[in-house]
Structure 1
């Protein structure tokens, strides 16, 4: 996800992703007019969020990355390395071993996990990683893993709070996320008007930022990327999708598909993503394993390059420090730990013990970053294509870094010449799952700001679906960059709230332990 990142949704600006350029005088004029308004705002905010930082080893460590990683370190220590101690428990809970079907909520633990993963796993795991190992060298992979492991604890904290402070409505639907735990939790922890005002301000900012990104980054950008990839593999401008009206038709068809899913709410989304996420992960990871298996003799050398590059300065930009920065940056932008987005999906889970979903959520950065991002990096390193090595030389010399998706695709093509078609399928699945999930995130932000009613929800859904069509025909680069910036700016407010509310999570952990010890909560064999 992010600037534009594509983390499946949101991933970062450190990758130079190709987007579809609109054709036609009218569309171009509209695009130019909108971009001209957003350009100065986008540039200023993008510099503050992604470029401003502190100097380390001859390069700059972005403050937002430091803020996210620091939170992971603090929470890991505060909760006694819970992501390692409770990993087995987390896998048991996600299988439904500690939750009964009659508990409050809308979806099972596995569906909540797959829904949240559909918003983070995406093209950023493919293209963004390609950029990270090009600029930071193979050593960036090691620090990517470290950051992913730390992010597991941040996800544990925010998703526990998401369930702890969620609202269960009269119709059985659930609303949760940073809007709710910031407003309620901060007011609860800080007595008096000061706590209520601070909590309310943080919650409103969170809702606005999430809503804006949902429409621009989680929707328009994904549609734009998907059509560009599909058009590219079908012959480009002269191919099947090269006609003037192809983008519009594609946008309308996709809008109908997305609309049919999001109208059904999180239960419908959970059913779709619980099938879509495993499918796209299996397709992509299988391709990685094929490349690795064919090049099995090179695996020890690749692992050695990753370890040596992390500590001895084998990275291209800034030596070992550059590898660390690129690894941390990619992980932070990929798994969204600390951004407050995932708790919206996790809050809908069926459970009466909030911390159970915290345990489930800690698996998310592990799957997204430790597994999928690492598989991509290892595949690129093992393949060691001429294109990849030339790209490193170019980066070292201050030249332009190529599109990360090309670096990754080229690595796969050494074994699978037809991989561009697989990539097009993967990008399509990633994008659709992201659009669906962010449609739900945006709806919860919308109803927090404008009230929950059938009319309010339908209004949002119509607006969201219309922007699917807009995303297919307009690029609006400055709007998308602005959306990325506000999403990551949300981490500033969200993590501040997490620090204040960490003792609440610790009480939930202790309460669940007591219930397990007394037998009030025990393993069940009920299938979800």
Structure 2
């Protein structure tokens, strides 16, 4: 471990020297010159009226989510209870060995329990670990700062449409994460390689569209690598460093760099171990930091419980009677849907990479688990943030709806501080933890794209990890507006090849869902008939 870390940072130092010699303005201007067209193209808006303009990428995200919701017969609602049971491990036995082995016809010549103990499903992590690894990449600054920004523009009504986006996004997550497990590659050492790159290549080849699939897969891989360096890394490091230096009133040109170095070391220790170590960290960090944040929000809501109905009334009424000058209902809808869709990343395809590493024989089992992700991220955490801001703003008046703010974290901190004095300190710690967990998860996403493009091997892994850790330090050290815009554009460019592929492969997803639900029903029927649950014997 020490030798590995030393070699990584020996390679980083020359890159860091170059970054320090190059000013932020120089880097910013170079990126803007050569990548501005790409950023404008991804975030360009389609004008419907003189005042209503909708980003085309948002239409693709929501359009895909609506398609999946209807095609899979509202799996985002009908599969919710099953998802909870899967995470609890209720069906772990059939996912590991197959339902026929455990609850089929136990005739002579069939599976032997002693042999089955040595057999099992491919994969590296549990359902819960895969869920928390994916959640760690989505639950973050968007839930704290992004919600405040959406409210400042769209008013309380934006929350309603944010919830709608989260509920629809559950179907998108189900679809893409089912495919992630279905078409993953498993190395001889048990390492899993999965995500849109693989289901676009292998899945579309099965349908006779191998050429299109390969092009879409390469595009996605390029986008996910770029997104991992920027939005999944530099932006997170930059915001964490800003909050940390502000909390401790640190000044000086090198304050951010020192913070970045410490953060890079911590990230290195985790990502060297791959998805297993990432998952083992996120399964502890995500519930802890989300729990603290939600608990604080509940304390505020309990202290102001008489205003909760007024807050929901403002949210519902605002969704259909929006602020003047915002462009009508559509204007409010755009703000809420944009925040919801961009926060949970449903349809982007990133989560399918983390979920593909799960241990199971039934791909749809992880798709069902994945649908919980937008619910937790958007419907629960984002909504609680919005309620706290709306309720505390009734008397506080610290936010004027319809006037866009730039520092969302500060507004959220003000809202929490108004009821829980000095909670902004805890919020700063939460921001740093959110940023850290997002970085380690996105390092895995980017690595998978990198390996797909350049092949598997220790040297390939080392090169990517060196670059990733370098960008942690750069992101914490300097302000890179154009670089961040470009990397964010790459994240949302992932939507295009992913949604195209998932829609084309939807019939296969439906077959996998039917297969898994039949397996669940077979187990439950067998248990009702008095069959022995063999999982206890193994």
Partner residue, 1:446: 450
Cα distance, 1:41 vs structure 2: 4.3
Give 1:197's match in structure 2, choosing from 211, 236, 248: 211
Partner residue, 1:336: 345
Partner residue, 2:385: 376
Cα distance, 1:406 vs structure 2: 2.2
Give a deviation string over 1:228-254, Cα, whole Å, max 9, x none.
10111112xxxxx32443322222221
Question: Aligned partners of 2:537, 2:81: CA distance in 1, in Å?
Answer: 19
Cα contact 2:138–2:377 (8 A) shared by 1? yes
Partner residue, 1:32: 25
Deviates more, 1:380-389 or 1:416-425: 380-389
Give 1:106's match in structure 2, choosing from 124, 129, 150: 124
Cα contact 2:393–2:399 (8 A) shared by 1? no
Question: Aligned partners of 2:128, 2:55: CA distance in 1, in Å?
Answer: 34
Cα contact 2:245–2:255 (8 A) shared by 1? no
Question: Aligned partners of 1:388, 1:322: CA distance in 2, in Å?
Answer: 23
Q: Is 2:509 aligned against 1:509?
A: no
Cα distance, 1:421 vs structure 2: 0.5
Give a deviation string over 1:448-499, Cα, whole Å, max 9, x none.
1111112211222222122222222122221111010111011011101111
Cα contact 1:354–1:508 (8 A) shared by 2? yes
Question: Aligned partners of 1:302, 1:527: CA distance in 2, in Å?
Answer: 52
Question: Aligned partners of 2:537, 2:27: CA distance in 1, in Å?
Answer: 51
Aligned with 2:326: secondary structure? coil
Partner residue, 2:428: 424
Give a deviation string over 1:306-329, Cα, whole Å, max 9, x none.
111112234762232222111100
C-alpha change, 1:315 and 1:324, in structure 2 (3 Å) is farther
Question: Aligned partners of 2:464, 2:18: CA distance in 1, in Å?
Answer: 30
Question: Aligned partners of 1:244, 1:90: CA distance in 2, in Å?
Answer: 48
TM-score, length-normalised on structure 2? 0.87
Cα contact 2:155–2:322 (8 A) shared by 1? no
Give 1:92's match in structure 2, choosing from 79, 82, 85: 85
Give 1:151's match in structure 2, choosing from 169, 179, 199: 169
Cα contact 1:224–1:472 (8 A) shared by 2? yes
Cα distance, 1:520 vs structure 2: 9.7
Cα contact 1:516–1:522 (8 A) shared by 2? no
Question: Aligned partners of 1:204, 1:437: CA distance in 2, in Å?
Answer: 21
Cα distance, 1:222 vs structure 2: 1.0
Give a deviation string over 1:7-60, Cα, whole Å, max 9, x none.
xxxxxxxxxxxxxxxxx9984843222211211444433333224123258321
Q: Which runs of 5+ in 1 are unaligned?
A: 1-23, 236-240
Aligned with 1:333: secondary structure? helix
Question: Aligned partners of 1:159, 1:113: CA distance in 2, in Å?
Answer: 11
Partner residue, 1:216: 230
Aligned with 1:339: secondary structure? coil
Aligned residues: 491
Cα contact 2:87–2:128 (8 A) shared by 1? yes
Aligned with 1:416: secondary structure? coil
Cα contact 1:391–1:402 (8 A) shared by 2? no
Q: Is 2:449 aligned against 1:456?
A: no
Cα contact 1:214–1:439 (8 A) shared by 2? yes
Give a deviation string over 1:131-170, Cα, whole Å, max 9, x none.
1111111111111111100000000000000000000110
Cα distance, 1:272 vs structure 2: 0.2
Q: Is 2:244 aligned against 1:230?
A: yes
Larger of the two Rg values belongs to structure: 2
Question: Aligned partners of 1:26, 1:260: CA distance in 2, in Å?
Answer: 23
The correspondence of residues 55-74 of structure 1 with structure 2, limited to 5 A, is: 55=48, 58-74=51-67
Give 1:289's match in structure 2, choosing from 295, 298, 308: 298
Aligned with 1:272: secondary structure? helix
Question: Aligned partners of 1:419, 1:522: CA distance in 2, in Å?
Answer: 52
TM-score, length-normalised on structure 1? 0.89
Q: Is 2:280 aligned against 1:271?
A: yes
Question: Aligned partners of 1:463, 1:43: CA distance in 2, in Å?
Answer: 23
Cα distance, 1:353 vs structure 2: 0.3
Cα distance, 1:412 vs structure 2: 1.2
Give 1:496's match in structure 2, choosing from 500, 507, 519: 500
Partner residue, 1:75: 68
Aligned with 1:519: secondary structure? helix
Cα distance, 1:402 vs structure 2: 3.8
Aligned with 2:225: secondary structure? helix
Give a deviation string over 1:149-193, Cα, whole Å, max 9, x none.
00000000000000000001100010100100001111111x2xx
Question: Aligned partners of 2:373, 2:325: CA distance in 1, in Å?
Answer: 30
Cα contact 1:385–1:411 (8 A) shared by 2? no
The correspondence of residues 284-323 of structure 1 with structure 2, limited to 5 A, is: 284-314=293-323, 317-323=326-332
Question: Aligned partners of 1:255, 1:116: CA distance in 2, in Å?
Answer: 20
C-alpha change, 1:155 and 1:291, in structure 2 (3 Å) is same
Question: Aligned partners of 2:189, 2:374: CA distance in 1, in Å?
Answer: 32
Question: Aligned partners of 1:322, 1:95: CA distance in 2, in Å?
Answer: 40
Cα distance, 1:211 vs structure 2: 0.5
Partner residue, 2:137: 119
Cα contact 2:231–2:491 (8 A) shared by 1? no
Deviates more, 1:93-102 or 1:198-207: 93-102
Aligned with 1:69: secondary structure? helix
